[in-house]
Amino acid sequence: MTKTFVNRRLHSLLGVVPIGLFLIEHLVANATAAGGPEKFNETVALINKLPFVLFLEIVFIWLPILFHAIYGVYIAFQAKNTLPRYGYFRNWMFYLQRVTGLIAFVYIAWHVWETRVQAAFGQPVDFNMMANILSSPLMVVFYVIGVLSTVFHFSNGLWSFAVSWGIAIGPRAQRHMTYVSLVVFILLSIVGLMAIFSFVTV
Amino acid sequence: MSRTITLIVTRQDSPEGRPYKETFKIPYRSNMNVISALMEIRKNPVNAEGKKVAPVVWEMSCLEEVCGACSMVINGKARQACTALIDKLGDTITLEPMSTFPVIRDLMVDRQRMFESLKKVKAWIPIDGTYDLGPGPRMPEAEREWAYELAKCMTCGVCLEVCPNVGPHSKYMGPQAVNQVRLFNTHPTGKMNAHERLEALMGDDGLEGCGNSQNCVQACPKGIPLTTSIAALNGDLTRYSMKRWMMS
């Protein structure tokens, strides 16, 4: 059992648990903004009331994302390009998984800087913080691309998780898993976009 | 004017040489394949500019798509030259070596890395002993039936050529050797050494190198269910590594 084996499996696992679970929680929680600023501020207060919230953040969010991101970039640049020569559906998914991973890397870094890091500097996290950020149309575009890339990366990652752990083995099971990942992508995209546009006040 | 076929060949004079393209025009005959087209060049090694050049080098053996020696990239797709029919390829055909492998000369590549991988994963069944071990256990017919499909591999290298994760920046051994692990781990006698092959797949050049692009199963000329082998072994490695950790 080499380091490569352990790292690759850890990378695959962390993408689903806890990062994938956190992504779902995060998008759903932010979508409460659709109910207005008060609803969103209530959600923020609720999360901040969790005991050991900093510890939970470090262990279940920061460290897993940091490992997944850095090792993921290392994986992405191991590939040689086989497109458009071998333009099969799965090969495009392979390529997009790497592209969206890199976009998500940049987006999440910026997003954490604008929100969590600023919060550590004392800026209050509330509806106004996000409304401020998303008052620029350029930022709205950046957030839409960032969120959709992240959601794609997670949904397609669920498919490769099922294959990489030997859960979906035959072609039929893998096709079913493709449908599952597609449904997850559509549903989470709706929730994500709902969250973004709740903060956009024209 | 009789019909001619244009071949654009990516050539390389030596393993260290720089690749360059050379165009040849050859007379068309019915039922030609890429091999017979290359033989025309060998008969009359004159390029499209009328200059006499060294004949194009390639490898071939069985001429019936069971040896894998004549694999090359034809019109952008890796396949065997013997079953690539000119009538189905059009009048202008590009021929390139499979660049994932070291080029020896022109279209001839060194496929040795695949045989090294077979040694690494111990793709054989140890039956030699100091005394007669007697007959081995029988194989259920239902299993033999699908395992036979895995045995059709001719080590042609197409799956490595099309794999985005077999290349200069990755150590991954590729689908060919991985598939052989499933074949020999399914065999009732081979199963006795299954753990040794799984250990090999957990190495730095092992199965974790797979990125699930699934080009291999699309490109395999023998229709081997390579991605099923990969996913099945992923499951075996999940169970084996957990068990190994629990027992450690």
Same fold, B4-109 and B112-247: no
B227 touches chain A (CB under 8 A): yes
How many Cα neighbours within 13 Å face the side chain of A14?
Answer: 20
Split at pLDDT 50, 70, 90, the class of A90 is very high
Smallest CA–CA separation between B218 and chain A, in Å? 8
The enclosing H or E element of A31 equals helix A19-31
- Indicate the residue type of B231: A
Is A171 within 8 Å of B230 when comparing Cβ atoms? Answer: no
B238–A contact, CB cutoff 8 A: yes
Please give the distance of CA B206 from its chain centroid, rounded to a whole number: 17
Given a cut of 90, whether residue A143 has pLDDT beyond it is: yes
CA distances from A21 to A14, A27, A67, A68, A148 (A): 10, 10, 16, 14, 16
**Amino acid code (one letter) for B51:** K
The single-letter DSSP state of residue A35 is G
CATH domain B112-247 topology? Fumarate Reductase Iron-sulfur Protein; Chain B, domain 2 (1.10.1060)
Q: Within its chain, how far is the Cα of B215 from the centroid?
A: 13
Q: Which residues are CB-contacts of B113 (< 8 A; sequence separation ≥ 6)? A: B101, B160, B173
**Contact B242/A at CB under 8 A:** no
Return the H-helix or E-strand segment holding A111: helix A89-112
Question: In this predicted structure, what is the pLDDT of residue A99?
Answer: 98
Residue A124 pLDDT grade (very low, low, confident, very high; cuts 50, 70, 90): very high
* Residue A140, both tokens: 């709205």
Q: Do A79 and B165 touch (CB under 8 A)?
A: yes
What pLDDT band is residue A113 in, cutting at 50, 70 and 90? Answer: very high
List C-alpha distances in Å: A17 to A53, A76, A183.
Answer: 18, 21, 19
ipTM: 0.95
Instruction: Measure B133 CA to nearest chain A CA, in Å.
Output: 32
Q: Bridge partners of B144?
A: none
What tens digit of pLDDT does each residue of A64-79 get?
Answer: 999 999 999 999 999 9
Nearest CA distance, A161 vs chain B (angstrom): 10
Pairing of strands B92-96, B4-11: parallel
Tell whether the model's pLDDT for residue A1 goes beyond 80. no
pLDDT average, residue stretch A106-116: 97
In chain A, whose CA is at the least distance from the CA of B161? A82
Does position A103 have pLDDT exceeding 70, yes or no? Answer: yes
Whether A79 and chain B come into contact, CB under 8 Å, resolves to yes
Residue B237 contacts A, CB cutoff 8 Å: yes
In this prediction, residue A87 has a pLDDT band, given cuts at 50, 70 and 90, of very high
Full set of structural domains in chain A with CATH:
3-198 (1.20.1300.10)
Rounded Cα distance between A144 and A142, Å, is 6
Superfamily of domain B4-109: Beta-grasp domain (3.10.20.30)
> Quick one: how far is CA A142 from the chain centroid?
14
Among B168, B225, B237, select the one facing A80 at the smallest CB separation. Answer: B168
Q: Does A8 contact B at CB distance below 8 Å?
A: yes
Question: What per-residue confidence (pLDDT) applies to B1?
Answer: 59
Tell me which residue in B171, B215, B225 faces A82 most closely, judged by beta carbons.
Answer: B215
Looking at the complex, does the CB of residue A172 fall below 8 Å from at least one CB of chain B?
no
Q: Does B23 touch chain A (CB under 8 A)?
A: no
Taking CB atoms and an 8 Å cutoff, what residues of chain A touch B166? 80
**Which residues fall within 8 angstroms of residue A61, CB to CB, at 6 or more apart?**
A18, A19, A22
So what's the pLDDT on residue A183?
A: 98
- CA–CA distance, B113 with B119 (Å, rounded to integer): 10
- Please report how the helices A63-76 and A3-16 are oriented relative to each other, as an axis angle in degrees rounded to 10: 120
Residue B174, min C-alpha distance to chain A (Å) = 13
Task: Please state the three-class secondary structure of chain B as a single string.
Answer: CCCEEEEEEEECCCCCCCCEEEEEEEECCCCCEHHHHHHHHHHCCECCCCCECCCCCCCCCCCCCCCCCCEEEECCEEEECCCCEHHHCCCEEEEECCCCCCEEECCEECCHHHHHHHHHCCCCCCCCCCCCCCCCCCCCHHHHHHHHHHCCCCCCCHHHHHCCCCECCECCCCHHHHHHHHHHHHCCCHHHHHHHHHHHHCCCCCHHHCCCCCHHHHHCCCCCCHHHHHHHHHHHHHHHHHHHHHHC
Rounded CA gap, A80 and A82, in Å?
A: 6
Contact criterion met (CB < 8 Å) for A166 and B211: no
The domain ranges of chain B are 4-109, 112-247
Give the residue from A6, A74, A75, A80 with the most B CB atoms within 10 Å of its CB, the best one to mutate. A80
H/E element, A160? helix A137-164
Tell whether A82 is within 8 A of chain B (Cβ). Answer: yes
Distance from CA of A162 to the nearest CA of B (A): 9
B144-183 residues touching A, CB cutoff 8 A: 162-171
- Which residue in A has a C-alpha nearest to residue B159's C-alpha? A86
Mean pLDDT of A173-202: 96
Which of B202, B225, B234 shows the shortest C-beta gap to A164? B234
Determine whether the interchain pair B232/A169 forms a contact, defined as Cβ–Cβ distance below 8 Å: yes
Q: Is residue A176 a known part of a binding site?
A: no
* Whole-Å CA distances, A139 to A24, A99, A110, A195: 22, 20, 11, 14
Do A85 and B76 make contact, defined as CB atoms within 8 angstroms? yes
Minimal Cβ distance to B231: which of A9, A79, A169: A169
For position B132, what pLDDT does the model report? 86
Residues of chain B with pLDDT under 50: none
